[in-house]
Structures are given as structure tokens and as C-alpha cells.
Structure 1
Amino acid sequence: MASEETVTDGSQARPRRQARGQQRIEQILHAAAAVFAEHGYDAATTNAIAAQAGISPGSLYQFFKNKDDIAHALADHYASQLAALRGEVFTRESIDDASVEDLVDTVLGPLVAFNLAHPGFKALFARTDMPAGLRAAVTPIHTAIHHRVAELIGLLLPDRSHEEVARIATVTIQLVRSMMPLIADASGPERDALTTELHAVLTSYLHQHLS
């Protein structure tokens, strides 16, 4: 009987330990996002992340080997969030019978909101000089974003070649990536003004290819 009680207690404890472990992982990732946003990926350290999370470095190393390992997990987290965003925004319905201005507005608004809600995102995805240790983690997300943007542009420009559509998508994404950190760092009227400027640049660029 005692043996059965021990097994039962253990089976009940495992889910609790797993839940606590998942909570700790989320705590570390949240802290890493804050540290990456404030200091940038290169300057961030595991000690700073542990301090931000309110845990010891030793506790952090129970879940992650190093900073790159944390960044990979954070990239996976952002990937799942972006997948939901792509499902909501980057749809065929968002382009059917829509003007270029409406299309840009439909896509840009949620992207700005996503970056504001995830301040660590720009440290991992907005930069063009991605560290080698992080490149593999973010490449699948960049590829998925490029594919979806190219898909929408292909619907907008059905007579263009695959290569030209891919190039237009690349330029469009780079315009957004270059401006998004400025928009995220600004506030109030200045953020709105920068968003309006980016909207104007994107619509002008796409109109150029429609003519």
C-alpha cells in the first residue's frame, strides 16, 4: 500500500514540476526579451538575463546552455506568435478588391502592434548583421514571412515573374525592417508620424510596380 501511495504521489508531483519548469522557462524568455530590447543581442549576457528574471545564473543554466540557446527558444516563441499573425493578416481576403493603400494599412497596422507588444523582437529580427549563432534560429521565420509577402504581391501583380515578385517582396520587407525599430522606440505623435511615413513609402513603391 505504501508503495502504491508513493507512486501516486510521484505521478501527481511530475505535472506540478513540469508546470513550474514551463513557468520558469517563460520567465527567462520574458526577461531575455527585455534585456535584448534594452541592450541589444550582442551586449546581452546570461547574467543580465538571470538578474532580470530574478533568478540565479545557475537556475538559468538548468534550462538553457547559453545566450544562443535562449535566443533560439525566444525565436521559436516569436515564430508561433507570428504564425498566428500571418493567419489573421496575410490572407487572400486581405487583397481581394483592396487598394494598395488598404493592403498596406491592413498589414502594417498589425505588424507595428506586434513589435510594440514584443520589444525583444527587433533585437532578433530587425537587424541585418545577424550573428552566426542566431542566424539558423531566425532564418525559417524570415523565409516564412518572405513567402507570405511574396504571395500577396503575386496576387497584386499577377503578370510578374516569380523572380521579380520575390525581389519586390525582399525590398518591401527590408523597408519595414529598417523603419520598425524607429517606430517601436518612438512614442505618441512621433510614432504615428513615422508609421505614416513608412505607409507612404510602401504604397509609393508598390504603386511604382503597378504602373
Structure 2
Amino acid sequence: MTESKADQPDEKARPRRRQARGERRIQQLLDAAASVFCRAGYTSASTNAIAREAGVSPGTLYQFFPNKEAIAVELGERLNRRMLETHGVVFTLENAALPLRELIDAVLDPMIEFNCANPAFLTLLQSSDAPGHFLEEHAALHDSIQDRIGELIGVRNPDLSPERRTHTANMAFALFKAGLGLILGHEGAEREAYVAELKTALYGYLAPVLGTEGVPAQP
């Protein structure tokens, strides 16, 4: 009996399935690398340790990545993209119009959540020998975030000079980064306490510049 065309395997589906399996394996290796980087530091991490963490052989790892640096670059690119998506959601005209306490919550909560869920992001940034490509991409993202903070401040107080707006944005971002280090260094109730302290510090710094009440939403 001749097999009908409908009963034959879909040749196009096979590459898709292989691609899906490959992507799952890559994500498995990246998740393992993130754990190893956080535990041992990027400098001390090795491909053997990453393979062990992922539950695969070093040979399997090398099918996807030639070395530790390539793994860090791919992980960093994905984390940078996720951070870009996060800051695209928080720095909005709608949030800029909120009362100051609500504005701080709306901006900080997703950014803190991202960093708590992805501690390897800060680990790579703080490593003295992190791949240059990752650091260059993050530098561009960092500048973009500062620009968005400046835009938000400009919406809240359009009378500020460009220089004062820039200084305020840079200082607010510096306060966030300093507080984030403390937040990531603690867990549970202590972490929540430092989140509250960071919000209090930013509120006290920004209130005289931005006011505490909501502002008319921009069209």
C-alpha cells in the first residue's frame, strides 16, 4: 500500500523541531552559566563547571559555544534586551504624570524585580574581565536609561535648565544603582527594608525638584 502524502512526515517540521531543541539547550546552558557566574564569579567560572551545572558533557556545550566568553556574550545580549524591554515599559508619559510616590513605585518595582530575577546581570557588569561586547551594549543601554530619566524629569518640571535636568537624572540613577547593590545583597525582609529605604531616599531627593502631586498627562 502506497503511503499517502498526508501520512508522510513533514520535512519542514523537522528543522523546526531541531531548532526548538537547540534553542532549549542553549537556554539550559545560559541558565547554568548565570548560576555559575553568580556563585563563582565570571573570572573563576569555567566551561566545565557550566556543563556540570547544566547536566551535560563539555562536548555538548562546545557544540553551541566555543568558550566561556561566547556564553557570557550571548547571556549578556539577552539580559540587555530584557532590561531594554523593562525600561521601555516603565519610562512612560502615563507614569510621569503620577503622584511622586506612585511614580517611584511604577519605575523602581519592575527594574528591581528584573535585577533580582537576573543577578548575573550585575555580576557580569562588575567583573573586571567581562566581554567587551557586552559592556559596550550595556553602556549604550545605560545612556538610554539616563536619557529616559531626564525626559521624565522634563515632563514633571519643564522649567528646569538642561544642565539641572541632566544632573538630577544622573544623581537619581546613581542613587538607584547604589541602593540596588544593597537590595541584591540581602533577601526576604531585609531586602524589602532596603527597597523601602531606596524609595524613601529617592522621594526625598526628587520631591523638591519634581513636586509630590500628579501632573496633567501629556497628549
Q: TM above 0.5, one fold?
A: yes
- Taking a change above 3 Å as real, the CA distance of residues 164 and 128 of structure 1, as seen in their structure-2 partners, is farther
Question: Separation in 2 of the partners of 1:116 and 1:75?
Answer: 16
Alignment partner, residue 89 of structure 1? 90
Alignment partner, residue 19 of structure 2? 18
Amino acid aligned to 1:80 = R
Return the offset for 1:101: 2.2
Return the offset for 1:30: 0.9
Question: Separation in 2 of the partners of 1:48 and 1:178?
Answer: 31
Q: Confirm or deny: 8 A CA contact 1:37 1:121 kept in the other structure.
A: no
Q: What are the Cα deviations for residues 81-124 of structure 1, in whole angstroms up to 9, with x where unaligned?
A: 2233223322110011x232221121111222212222322213
Question: Separation in 2 of the partners of 1:32 and 1:90?
Answer: 30
Question: Separation in 2 of the partners of 1:119 and 1:199?
Answer: 20
Amino acid aligned to 1:95 = A
Partner of 1:147, secondary structure, is helix
Question: Separation in 2 of the partners of 1:144 and 1:68?
Answer: 25
Amino acid aligned to 1:104 = I
Return the offset for 1:208: 4.4
Give the count of matched residue pairs.
205
Which deviates further from its counterpart, 18-27 or 145-154?
Answer: 145-154
Amino acid aligned to 1:13 = R
Q: Confirm or deny: 8 A CA contact 1:183 1:195 kept in the other structure.
A: yes
Alignment partner, residue 178 of structure 2? 178
Partner of 2:43, secondary structure, is coil
Aligned counterparts, 1:139-178, within 5 A: 139-178=139-178
Alignment partner, residue 66 of structure 1? 67
Alignment partner, residue 56 of structure 2? 55
Return the offset for 1:201: 1.2
Partner of 1:159, secondary structure, is coil
Question: Separation in 1 of the partners of 2:141 and 2:41?
Answer: 19
Return the offset for 1:140: 2.7
Q: Confirm or deny: 8 A CA contact 2:37 2:120 kept in the other structure.
A: yes
Larger helix percent: 1
TM-score by length of 2: 0.80
TM-score by length of 1: 0.83
Unpaired segments of 5 or more residues in structure 2?
212-219
Large movers: runs of 4+ above 6 Å: none
Amino acid aligned to 1:102 = E
Which deviates further from its counterpart, 154-163 or 50-59?
Answer: 154-163
Q: Confirm or deny: 8 A CA contact 2:42 2:127 kept in the other structure.
A: no
Q: What are the Cα deviations for residues 154-204 of structure 1, in whole angstroms up to 9, with x where unaligned?
A: 222322233432332222222222221321231222111111111111112
Question: Separation in 1 of the partners of 2:15 and 2:196?
Answer: 51
Give aligned-pair identity as a percent. Answer: 40
Question: Separation in 2 of the partners of 1:149 and 1:94?
Answer: 11
Q: Confirm or deny: 8 A CA contact 1:72 1:137 kept in the other structure.
A: no
Aligned counterparts, 1:94-173, within 5 A: 94-96=95-97, 98-125=98-125, 127=126, 131=130, 133=132, 134-173=134-173
Partner of 2:64, secondary structure, is coil
- Taking a change above 3 Å as real, the CA distance of residues 131 and 74 of structure 1, as seen in their structure-2 partners, is closer
